[in-house]
Amino acid sequence: MRSVLLRAGVILAAVVYCAALDAATLRFSSQGDITTIDPHANNEGFTTSYLDNIYEALVFRGKRMEVEPGLAVSWNRTSPTTMRFKLRPNVKFHDGTPFTADDVVFSVQRALADTSNYKPYLTGVKEARKVDDLTVDVITDGPAPVLVPQLTRIHIMSKAWCTKHNVTKPQDYKNKEETYAVRNANGTGPYILKSRQEDVRTVAVKNSNWWGKLDGNVDEMVYVPIKSDATRLAALISGEIDFVLDPPPQDIPRLKQDPKLKVVEGLENRTIFFGMDQARNELLYSNVKGKNPFKDKRVREAMQLALDLKAIQKQVLRGLGIPTAVMFAPQVDGYPKDLDHPKPPDRARAKKLIAEAGYPNGFEVTLDCPNNRYVADEKICVAAAAMWAQIGVTVKVNAMPRAIWGPKTQNRDTSMYMLGWGVPTFDSQYVLQSLMRTYIPNTADGDYNLGGYSNPQADALIDKQKTEVDPKKRAEIAYEVSKIHMQDFGHIPLHFQMIPWAMRSNVSVVHRADNFLTVKWVKVN
Amino acid sequence: MIVMLVVGFIAFSLFNFVGDPVSLMLPPEATQADRDAMRQLLGLDRPFYVQFVTFLENALHGNFGISLRLGRPVSALIAERLPATLELALTATIFALAVGIPVGVYTALRRDSWVSRAMLTTSLIGVSLPNFLIGIFLILIFAVWLGLLPSFGRGDTTQLGFWSTGLLTKSGLKALLLPAITLGFYPVTLVMRLVRAEMLEVLRTDYIKFARARGLSSRAVNFGHALKNTLIPVITVIGLQVGAIIAFAIITETVFQWPGMGLLFIQAVQFADIPVMAAYLCLIGFIFVIINLVVDLLYYLVDPRLRVERMAAAGALR
């Protein structure tokens, strides 16, 4: 017997939509629940991706991740600090009120509120101004070349609805009360939130008044979080759910063999790499006293030469990654294709370089590594440590959960660390500025350049890119900086991470590099 | 009271080691300034003892704050989850008694039959197999292979006032079976072995021999006399086990995605959701204190000897 849920879904579908025979329910699952329904409160990847089916942004991502019109039909720059958006006419919120410029002005203001977690996507934005009912100017304090892609993550809420329910600001956690928007939604999107039971089930149904046309046939989406990996897969195999967003990598080969299931793999736009503290005069976690081996470029080069990326890809990742020599993935604008040729390992040369740098007997260092953040993260660290041991460098792997690894490395309390960098804007500036620019506290400059890599030549180029609006010139800068960074061995790039999705074989989806499941594109046969 | 304070304090001091919720609430691209602002907003920048005193103050008013993971009041979340856990724990306990006592009696009476030996061997497995493994086996057999029972969740629930129950719907009952068996497996073996050992002990006593000599039927002897005397320690142990069942439901609830307090807690740990963790640990502490109290009182009620002693003591005082 298949689950009662499925039957109920089928009966419901049959009763309600007798005309549309192919209407279907999609039951999908991942490890954790949506954390809130408020689209500006908790900037967590899965939460944002779920809400993207209910709320919409001015700008969308298309099936190949290209930027395309959403609630805005067109945009153009009217001055260096002003971007003018023409809004889509005849769009209605789920409660029937029309969508206008006031809602955009309000939503930008709400996303900029001090309790909002979405401010990073509005860097440089000062405000939005209404021009007429269907025209809005977004004012920035500089040329803001990545404004448009950033706006794909800012969902538009109804001003009237928020005012009515007293949720004109995202939830304040200091306040002891939950706000209305935490469990209720009123978007413009293709799906309408119907019911919400935390950690149990969240149901949304098709918005028959949606302005667009569905590419799929899902008229009801049921999200059920299942924390235990084994149970989640059991539910998929037994047919209680149709789709799993995060199947554990070690089970992928087995899932592929099951004829009832299929696995869709796609490249995430995330680069996994190691970083080394090259700023301090003495490493915090090493047996070398009085000097810092990573300050020597030869040591950094040796560390890279010791690694066999193909072996890691094959043995540890089981194919869920593509080795790389650069710091950003092919989907990112400005990806330096010519530079992306990972070097084969050369341990003899690595040993020689280490000896030349003054460490003929090697040295010891601790590597801070997450164990629940990236695909096979801890295993990669352990494998790399074994490779470094072959050139005489003893690397102690300090593996820890995300909630501890995150703050430790972000406080720069580390000598060596693993990090994965995803690019929500799909623009190179996001990589260059955060990872390769010299660190300036309390700015976005080098905020994740945790090892303190610094090259004035690169800095000058990156600063130039911040205000450059010509895509071609931006790509040229990305290329130049990547080259400098590569010659400096600023980081040790490992691979682009692949993300597998598992589903029943009758489900077809469009895989997205940002790990968003876009239900309007899903077909269930 | 002191126990509760200590539990609260230990729980609270542990939170310094679970990690920083802010790093999970904000995206990697957040700046240090964003993170500091968030920390200040949550009151995490204040010294430990200030946070603890504030927590105690609020807890006394029944206010445990807002869950950092779900953005809802912790007290509301716990009130929603408590019925699920209690229903599961209760069913598991009933299962433990309903299976454990008869099997225990049987194995005591027919010590040498192969059925008894088989049962005892099985009970060894029950004692030594970890809970989650039993759960996964059951899922594999009943959900994946046979497709008879759901592998996760609680099925459809009915709302009776503030209490949401899964006992009134077919899907709710079906969903309850596997988790209850998983959770009850260990107590079953415990009860069975305890009943067996006590039975063997009691059967050797003089009054049983005397009862038999009086020509009473073996049924009256075994159940009327022997079993009744066996139950006193069983009640004590089961009482204490109920607390353990509620507390250890964490693992079963995680395996079956059972929306109870244990699942809430484990997710809170992963997210470093301090308000939920604090409230949960205090509640479990409270439940244990209450259960111990009730068991002490029950013991006094069931065992006549205690009453006699007390009367004697009272008499001596007089």
pLDDT in tens, A324-341: 999 988 889 889 999 999
Ordered strands of the A72-79 beta sheet = A72-79, A82-87, A135-140, A125-132
Residues β-bridged to residue A416: A276
Please give the residue that has the higher pLDDT: either B48 or B74: B74
Question: Among the listed ranges A150-154, B137-141, B153-157, B238-242, which one has the minimum average pLDDT value?
Answer: B238-242
Q: Dump pLDDT digits (tens) for B173-199.
A: 999 999 999 999 888 988 898 899 988
Cα(A457)–Cα(A463) distance, integer angstroms: 10
Burial of A265 (0-12, 13-18, 19+ CB in 10 A): middle
Please tell me which residue, B215 or B89, carries the higher pLDDT value.
B89
Cβ contact B272–A41 (<8 Å): no
pLDDT per position as a tens digit, B253-277: 999 999 999 999 988 887 778 888 8
pLDDT digits (tens, 9 = 90+) for B139-152: 999 999 998 999 99
- In this prediction, residue A19 carries a pLDDT of 40
**Which chain B residues are within 8 Å of A3, Cβ to Cβ?**
150
The helix-helix angle for B228-256 and B131-138 (nearest 10°) equals 70
Task: Give the closest-approach CA distance of A261 to chain B in angstroms.
Answer: 14
Q: Is A248 on the interface with B (CB under 8 A)?
A: no
Instruction: Give pTM, 2 decimals.
Output: 0.82
Q: Which residue has the tokens 């299929």?
A: A262
Asked if the Cβ–Cβ distance from A238 to B272 is below 8 Å, we say: no
Location of structure tokens 């039951």? A27
Distance CA A7, CA A13 (A): 10
- What pLDDT sits at residue B28? 59
Check if the beta carbon of residue A122 is closer than 8 Å to that of residue A108. Answer: yes
Question: Does the pLDDT of residue B100 top 80, yes or no?
Answer: yes
Contacts of B24 in chain A (CB under 8 A): 44, 402-403, 406
Q: Which residue in A has a C-alpha nearest to residue B38's C-alpha?
A: A115
Q: How far is B127 from chain A (nearest CA, A)?
A: 22
3-state secondary structure chain B: CHHHHHHHHHHHHHCCCCCCHHHHHCCCCCCHHHHHHHHHHHCCCCCHHHHHHHHHHHHHCCCCCECCCCCCEHHHHHHHHHHHHHHHHHHHHHHHHHHHHHHHHHHHHCCCCHHHHHHHHHHHHHHHCCHHHHHHHHHHHHHHHCCCCCCCCCCCCEEECCEEECCCCHHHHHHHHHHHHHHHHHHHHHHHHHHHHHHHHHHCCHHHHHHHHCCCCHHHHHHHHHHHHHHHHHHHHHHHHHHHHHHHHHHHHHHHCCCCHHHHHHHHHHHCCHHHHHHHHHHHHHHHHHHHHHHHHHHHHHCHHHHHHHHHHHHHHC
pLDDT of B18 > 80? The answer is no
**In Å, what is the CA distance from B151 to each residue of A257, B95, B145, B291?**
21, 19, 11, 31
The reply to whether residue B19 touches residue A402, judged by beta carbons under 8 angstroms, is yes
Predicted confidence (pLDDT) per residue in A348-407, tens digit: 999 999 999 999 999 999 999 998 788 889 999 999 999 999 999 999 999 987 777 887
Return left, alpha or beta for A438; rule: phi > 0 is left, psi -120 to 50 is alpha, else beta.
beta
Are A197 and B259 in contact (CB < 8 Å)?
Answer: yes
| Closest residue by Cα to residue A431 from A329, A301, A300 | A329
Task: Please list every residue in chain B whose beta carbon sits closer than 8 Å to the beta carbon of residue A403.
Answer: 18-21, 23-24, 270-272
Between β-strands A261-276 and A72-79, what pairing exists: parallel, antiparallel or unpaired? unpaired
d(CA B201, CA A221): 60
Query: What confidence score (pLDDT) does residue A173 get?
Result: 65
CA-CA distance, A61 to A42, in Å (whole number)?
Answer: 21
- Chain A hits for B29, Cβ within 8 Å: 120, 424, 430, 434, 444, 447
Q: What is the 3-state secondary structure (H, E, C) of B9-72?
A: HHHHHHCCCCCCHHHHHCCCCCCHHHHHHHHHHHCCCCCHHHHHHHHHHHHHCCCCCECCCCCC
Those residues whose C-beta lies under 8 Å from the C-beta of residue A354, and which sit 6 or more positions away, are: A298, A299, A302, A360, A362, A391, A392, A393
Q: What is the pLDDT of residue B246?
A: 86
A394-432 burial: b if 16+ Cβ within 10 Å, else e: ebebbbbbbbbbbbbbbebebbbbbbbbbbbbbbbbbbb
Distance (Å, whole) CA A349 – CA A487: 16
A253 CB within 8 Å of a chain B CB: no
Q: Of the candidates A131, A44, A74, which has an alpha carbon nearest to the alpha carbon of residue A403?
A: A44
User: Quick check: B61 pLDDT over 80?
Assistant: no
Quickly tell me which residue has 């080394």 as its tokens: A276
Partner-chain contact B259 A200, CB within 8 Å: yes
Of B34, B147, B171, which is closest to A119 when you measure between CB atoms? Answer: B34
Q: According to the model, what pLDDT value does residue A220 have?
A: 96
- The nearest CA of chain B is from the CA of A202 a distance in Å of 13
B143 touches chain A (CB under 8 A): yes
Q: Is B90 buried (19+), middle (13-18) or exposed (0-12) by CB count in 10 A?
A: middle
Tokens of A471: 């895509």
Helix axes of B131-138 and B170-203: crossing angle, nearest 10 degrees: 130
- The answer to whether the CB of A41 falls within 8 A of the CB of A115 is yes
Q: What is the dihedral of CA A459, A463, A464, A466, to 10 degrees?
A: 140
Among A35, A402, A442, the residue with its CB nearest the CB of B69 is A35
Taking the alpha carbons of A91, A94, A100, A103 in that order, is the dihedral positive or negative?
Answer: negative
Residues of A in contact with B172 (CB under 8 A): none
Using a 10 angstrom Cβ sphere, with 0-12 exposed, 13-18 middle and 19 or more buried, the burial of residue B49 is exposed
CB-based contact B260:B81 (threshold 8 Å): yes
Of A43, A44, A231, the CB nearest to B139: A231
pLDDT at A1: 42
Q: Rg of chain B over CA atoms, in angstroms?
A: 24
Residues in chain A: 525
Record: contact A403-B143, CB cut-off 8 A: no
Pairing label, strands A243-244, A24-29: parallel
Partner A contacted by B136 (CB < 8 A): yes
Q: Do B270 and A444 touch (CB under 8 A)?
A: no
The pLDDT score that the predictor gives to residue A14 is: 44
Nearest-CB residue to A234 (from B38, B140, B153)? B140
Query: Residues near A278 by Cβ (< 8 Å), separated by ≥ 6?
Result: A292, A294, A295, A300, A451, A452, A453, A454, A490
Best of B66, B266, B277 to disrupt the A interface (most A CBs within 10 Å) is B66
Which run of H or of E encompasses A497? strand A491-504
Residue B313 pLDDT: 62
Q: Show the low-confidence residues of chain A (pLDDT under 50).
A: 1-6, 8-21
Nearest to B152 among A35, A231, A430 (CB): A231
Site from B17, B54, B152 to mutate, A interface, most A CB atoms within 10 angstroms: B152
The kind and range of the H/E element at A37 are none
Question: Distance between CA atoms of A408 and B242, rounded to whole angstroms?
Answer: 40
Q: Does residue B160 surpass a pLDDT of 90?
A: no
Structure tokens at A453: 């890599």
Q: What integer pLDDT is reported at residue A177 of this predicted model?
A: 67
Q: How far apart are CA A467 and CA A60, in angstroms?
A: 24
- The region, left, alpha or beta by phi > 0 then psi within -120 to 50, assigned to residue A440 is beta
Residues facing A140 on adjacent strands: A125
> Tell me: the pLDDT tens digits for A4-16?
444 544 444 444 4
